[in-house]
Amino acid sequence: AFEAPCIRCTGASRTAVPQLILTLKEEVDRRRNLAIISHPDAGKTTLTEKLLLYGGAIQSAGAVKAKGEQRRATSDFMAIEQERGISISTSVLTYEYSGKHVSILDTPGHQDFSEDTYRTLAAADNAVMLIDAAKGLEPQTRKLFEVARLRRLPLFTFVNKLDRPARTPYDICGEIEAEFGITCCPVVWPIGSGDRFRGVLDRRSKKVMLFERGERGKEAVITNMMSVDDPALLDALGDVELYERLLEDVELLDELMEPLDMAKVFKGEQTPIFFGSAMTNFGVQHFLDSFMELGAPPLARALDVSGATAEGRASGADFQSGAIADDAEVVDPRSDEFSGFVFKLQANLDPKHRDRMAYVRVCSGTFHKGLKVKHARLKGTEITLSSATAMLGNERKPFDDEMIAFPGDIIGLNNPSGTLSIGDTLYTGGKRISFAKIPSFSPEVFARCLCPSPSKAKSFNKGLDQLIAEGAVQLLRERGEEAGGGVPILAAVGPLQLEVVQSRMQTEYDVDVKFEPISYTSARWALAGWDAVDEAVEANKLLNIRKLSDVYGRPVLLFPSEWRLNSVVGELSDKLGLRPHALA
């Protein structure tokens, strides 16, 4: 048993558990870690906020964005996010709920930030896909689902906005199954929609929960909870048509839908699906309670066996999903030795201090202030983690001597000299280990990045270095200029990434940068190296294709069109070792 309490937000929590001293295994088992993915406007901010509200981590839901009044939930904190109403950076929110330690990882909804989403999903053990009941699957739902599938996380589905005119639940389940090839298992089933949305049926207990619309921002009141077989239900519903449809649905669902099978959920073959309305609180608490029960605790993590750390990166191993192959070597979260990996870097959270933070997901053992760990990429060099930040509720607090972090928790480490990069593994114990790497995505937008004011060159370089390290965009240069000099070329998955760079350079480094777009549409790494590229150039095979170099000096080819890309890939893919992704 541990002497010290774990990090928990007892102060703010309505359902605070007494500071019991639990074993590592118990602490792991009570952790629930969830990333939310959705198309913008499906209600992610609202749901996140409601989940926090139920957890007592915030006191009121007044921060919900209203039209015209651009107030955002606590999870969106960067200026540009507020201006544009989009979520860029991932924030971590934690709280205690019914004896469990919950972490919610907010992810950017916009496709331009898919990479950030992927990194966050690397730190998550579960994901929930949020869908607008009127719109069904939207472009970003599709993209983000693909990203989540790469990680093969247990995926829950919450169909939102049932208080508005909605498509039928059958229709939505059918669409998910047809498009994503994953079966839906409704854990709850909605009763009506729009003005007639009255509540949900919990299919496992056969209990009907009827809601009363709460005041805006307040918890919904369950006015009634009764068995679906209770004849009094008709009166309680006061709607013959809804009542009859519900009884019909109950039978039909048992016939049509697969029973809930968590083994299938963990394999990514089934999604437990919930219906509700985040704004009016219908079904949110039920979702949270079910997730506490069904969600996966911190899972074993796959190690990278492709030739570990720095060497592996330079040679650019192929894109890997986070999925655990059957024969993969894994780290058990309940093992005593500490391990964790960096999934995100962020600078200047507090504009008054030039802080640089590396977010680490703890994977095994325990973390406390002053822990001596080894840095896998630096060949096991020991570093002492003397200053760390804990995520408590929606705040960050420095670790004191009492606090302990457990597997599943996210901690922030000070990273002033940039020793920690995305994907780095930290560990204790004699055996050098490295977790599976985090890939970068294939860029599709390219621009020369200019610093019009020569007197600002130093800040320009400093800012750019930091943003590149954070993975905000990728940096390419002309061959031979890898060490600096020349005009850097920024490569992004989407144009908003460039806007973020521009805005952050302005606000955080006081530099106005200018972009000159260059019109190429896609990129491929040529991992066979420069000799192979030169050979192809001599044979006149790379006309109209721009040859640049990434930060590791590896050749990157930019293609002016999809057509040109396909013709080169068709002919030279093996010879050049062409890859859409390279490990950062």
Residues 6+ apart with CB under 8 A from 474: 440, 443, 468, 490, 491, 492, 550, 551
Q: Return the number of the residue (60 or 205) whose C-beta is nearest ligand GDP.
A: 60
Q: Return the number of the residue (42 or 208) whose C-beta is nearest ligand GDP.
A: 42
d(CA 538, CA 549): 18
Q: Which residue has the tokens 């509540």?
A: 199
- Which DSSP string do the residues of 67-131 spell out, in sequence order? TTB----TT--SHHHHHHT---S--EEEEEETTEEEEEEE---SGGGHHHHHHHHHH-SEEEEEE
278 contacts ligand GDP (rule: CB under 6 A)? yes
d(CA 237, CA 19): 43
- Which DSSP string do the residues of 30-77 spell out, in sequence order? TEEEEEEEE-TTSSHHHHHHHHHHHTTSSS--TTS-BTTB----TT--
Closest separation in Å from C-beta 287 to ligand GDP: 12
449 contacts ligand GDP (rule: CB under 6 A)? no
Neighbour count for residue 420 (Cβ, 10 Å): 24
Closest separation in Å from C-beta 1 to ligand GDP: 41
Closest separation in Å from C-beta 69 to ligand GDP: 11
Closest separation in Å from C-beta 173 to ligand GDP: 19
279 contacts ligand GDP (rule: CB under 6 A)? yes
Asked if residues 374 and 428 have their Cβ atoms less than 8 Å apart, the reply is: yes
Percent composition of the chain: helix, strand, coil (DSSP 3-state, to 5): 30, 30, 45
At 96, phi and psi to the nearest 5? Answer: -95, 135
Which candidate, 378, 356, 404, places its Cα nearest to that of 309? 378
Closest separation in Å from C-beta 253 to ligand GDP: 23
Closest separation in Å from C-beta 39 to ligand GDP: 7
Closest separation in Å from C-beta 258 to ligand GDP: 27
Determine which residue in the list 74, 277, 339, 466 makes contact with ligand GDP, applying CB under 6 A: 277
Closest separation in Å from C-beta 280 to ligand GDP: 6
Residues 107-126 that bind ligand GDP (CB under 6 A): 109
Per-residue binding string, ligand GDP, 70-109, x by CB under 6 A, is ---------------------------------------x
d(CA 535, CA 383): 44
d(CA 142, CA 140): 5
Determine which residue in the list 33, 74, 117, 160 makes contact with ligand GDP, applying CB under 6 A: 160
Determine which residue in the list 163, 249, 508, 550 makes contact with ligand GDP, applying CB under 6 A: 163
Q: Return the number of the residue (65 or 541) whose C-beta is nearest ligand GDP.
A: 65
169 contacts ligand GDP (rule: CB under 6 A)? no
Task: Look up residue 186 and give its two tokens.
Answer: 């409704």
d(CA 516, CA 502): 12
Task: Look up residue 89 and give its two tokens.
Answer: 């950076």
Q: Return the number of the residue (282 or 406) whose C-beta is nearest ligand GDP.
A: 282
Per-residue binding string, ligand GDP, 24-53, x by CB under 6 A, is --------------x-xxxxxxx-------
Helix residue ranges, H only, 124-221: 139-151, 169-180
Q: For 174-206, give one letter per residue: b (16+ CB within 10 A) or e.
A: eebeeebebbbbbbbbbbbbeeebbbbbbbeee
Q: Return the number of the residue (65 or 546) whose C-beta is nearest ligand GDP.
A: 65
Which candidate, 538, 472, 539, 537, places its Cα nearest to that of 557? 537
The stretch near ligand GDP (CB under 6 A) out of 157-165, 196-204, 313-321, 364-372 is: 157-165
Rounded to the nearest angstrom, the gap between the alpha carbon of residue 88 and the centroid of all alpha carbons in its chain is 11
Residues 330-359 that bind ligand GDP (CB under 6 A): none
Closest separation in Å from C-beta 76 to ligand GDP: 8
Q: Return the number of the residue (64 or 533) whose C-beta is nearest ligand GDP.
A: 64
Neighbour count for residue 543 (Cβ, 10 Å): 8
d(CA 235, CA 191): 14
Q: Return the number of the residue (138 or 289) whose C-beta is nearest ligand GDP.
A: 138
Closest separation in Å from C-beta 390 to ligand GDP: 25
The continuous run of DSSP H or E covering 558 comes out as: strand 555-559
436, burial (CB in 10 Å: exposed 0-12, middle 13-18, buried 19+):
buried
Determine which residue in the list 34, 57, 58, 64 makes contact with ligand GDP, applying CB under 6 A: 64
Q: Return the number of the residue (257 or 273) whose C-beta is nearest ligand GDP.
A: 273
The stretch near ligand GDP (CB under 6 A) out of 159-167, 357-365, 508-516, 569-577 is: 159-167
d(CA 508, CA 341): 26
Residues that contact ligand GDP, how many (by CB under 6 A): 18
The stretch near ligand GDP (CB under 6 A) out of 158-166, 385-393, 428-436, 441-449 is: 158-166
Task: Look up residue 564 and give its two tokens.
Answer: 């040109």
Q: Return the number of the residue (216 or 354) whose C-beta is nearest ligand GDP.
A: 216
Closest separation in Å from C-beta 83 to ligand GDP: 14
How many Cα neighbours within 13 Å face the side chain of 270?
A: 15
Closest separation in Å from C-beta 71 to ligand GDP: 10
Q: Return the number of the residue (107 or 440) whose C-beta is nearest ligand GDP.
A: 107
Determine which residue in the list 164, 167, 368, 581 makes contact with ligand GDP, applying CB under 6 A: 164
Determine which residue in the list 2, 22, 65, 396 makes contact with ligand GDP, applying CB under 6 A: 65
Closest separation in Å from C-beta 46 to ligand GDP: 3
For binding to ligand GDP (CB under 6 A), which residues are involved? 38, 40-46, 64-65, 109, 160-161, 163-164, 277-279
